[in-house]
Amino acid sequence: MSTSVMINSADIESLIKRFNGCAMLQKLPAHVQLHPWEWQNSSWERIHVDFAGPFLDRMFLVMVDAHSKWPEVIEMNTTNTERTIQVMRTVFARYGLPKQIVSDNGSTFTSESFQLFMKRNGILHIRTAVAKPSTNGLVERFNASFKSSICAMNSETDDLNQKLNCFLHTYRNTPHSTTGETPAKLFLGRDLRSRLDLLKPDTKQHVNDRQMKMSVPDKNKFRELDLGQSVLARDFRPNSKEKWIKGTIVSRDGPLMYKVDIGNTVWRRHIDQLRATDVQNASNENDTIPLSCEPLSVTDTPYHSYLMSYHPVLIENKDKNDNDSQNDPLVSNEQLTMQRRYPSRDRRQTA
């Protein structure tokens, strides 16, 4: 009596896997779905590094920030560990030490001195899978953009260094497809100024124009005063009986600020606190201080008037010291007989 054996595909597959020859000839497994790197919260926490080249008979060290996509490209005359560490120290001095560095398994990055450099600076070194460049895809994609852009400039006569700077400036100022922001905006907090900004409206100039239009009508102009012009200055002293004091413009501190010489002092007033006047600064018999911006003589200074008003000893000894006073350059015979500037007080005897 014969019995039939049912063999399914799963049994055949299991049988084939047992043979070493069949396992060696199998195709590569299907690629798994890409797993993105975790996006860092701030810039310069994790950077991806790699060497680009040989390209145009040169080697370049490429560093890309994972948060902002800010790139750094440094031309290298050699790719040994010592030179690479030296260049990284320069970049780290500019931006600070990152928390993580992602690189491939090149001899430069796997050397003992490089591992010691990472350890001493507290940097976690993450190495990608062998022969799997897509693991470090951030820097690999940038290398492709970098090479294609430099090759597109072959018709230009600029040297390679200038082409590289133009490319980096444009790349850093272009919105990234992943973040939607420019690398400069996320890394520096602002976009880099370029020649295209000359075509954009200037916000500062626009605000200034609007402020000027609101403060000054188009039909009017700023009221201005000339140096040496006679004016009336607002008096804000609490004990002053007059609201306006005659003076002369001696200088201009700004578009709306002036300095006014009122004789015994200089006031700083706004244009709204000044009035132009044609009345000359008249002087009475008790006021010998000229209200002009011309240099004053020694005998016309406020200090001399004060000296004569508040030092009665000079008046009382006038007859005794006429000869001595003639030798005093600050006191003259005419001024020794000058009366006091303030009115006399009637002293009444109290009960």
Q: What one-character DSSP code corresponds to residue 319?
A: T
Range from 16-20, 39-43, 60-64, 107-111 carrying the lowest mean pLDDT: 16-20
Most confident option among 18-32, 33-47, 167-181: 167-181
- What is the mean pLDDT of the segment spanning 273-280? 82
The pLDDT assigned to 201 comes to 78
Report the pLDDT value the prediction gives residue 5, as an integer from 0 to 100.
63
Residue 98 has pLDDT above 80, yes or no: yes
The residue behind tokens 């700083």 is: 268
- Of residues 11 and 167, the one with the higher pLDDT is 167
How far apart (Å, rounded) are the C-alpha atoms in residues 144 and 157? Answer: 22
**Higher pLDDT among residues 334 and 208, named by residue:** 208
Predicted local distance difference test score (pLDDT) of residue 284: 40
For residues 42-59, give the mean pLDDT.
Answer: 94
The more confidently predicted of residues 131 and 76 is 76
Closest CA to 71 of 151, 144, 133: 144
Residue type, 350: T
- Region 286-312 average pLDDT: 47
Q: Give the model confidence (pLDDT) of 156-213 as tens digits.
A: 888 999 999 999 999 999 999 999 999 999 999 999 999 988 888 778 878 887 877 7
DSSP 61: E
- 305 pLDDT band, cuts 50/70/90, is low
Question: What's the CATH number for 46-197?
Answer: 3.30.420.10
The answer to whether residue 22 scores a pLDDT higher than 80 is no
CATH class of segment(s) 222-295: mainly beta
Per the listing, tokens 């606190």 go with 273
**Residue 345: what pLDDT?**
57
**CA distance linking residue 100 with residue 338, whole number of Å:** 89
What residues have CB less than 8 Å from 172, skipping those under 6 apart?
A: 70, 71, 182, 183, 184, 187, 192
The structure tokens listed for 109 are 């990055």
Average pLDDT rounded to a whole number, residues 2-14: 71
Q: Tell me the average pLDDT of the chain.
A: 80
Percent of the chain residues topping a pLDDT of 90: 51
Strand-pairing partners, residue 247, are: 231
Average pLDDT rounded to a whole number, residues 129-143: 90
Residue 63: strand pairing partners:
49, 72
Is the previous residue joined to 54 through a cis bond, with omega within 30 degrees of 0? yes
pLDDT at 184: 96
Q: Indicate if the pLDDT at residue 237 is higher than 80.
A: yes
Q: What is the pLDDT of residue 210?
A: 80
Q: Do domains 46-197 and 222-295 have the same CATH topology?
A: no
Domain limits of the chain?
Answer: 46-197, 222-295, 298-336
pLDDT of the residue at 68: 96
Sheet of strand 46-55: strand arrangement: 71-76, 58-65, 46-55, 100-103, 124-127
Mean pLDDT check: name the lowest of 10-14, 163-167, 256-260: 10-14
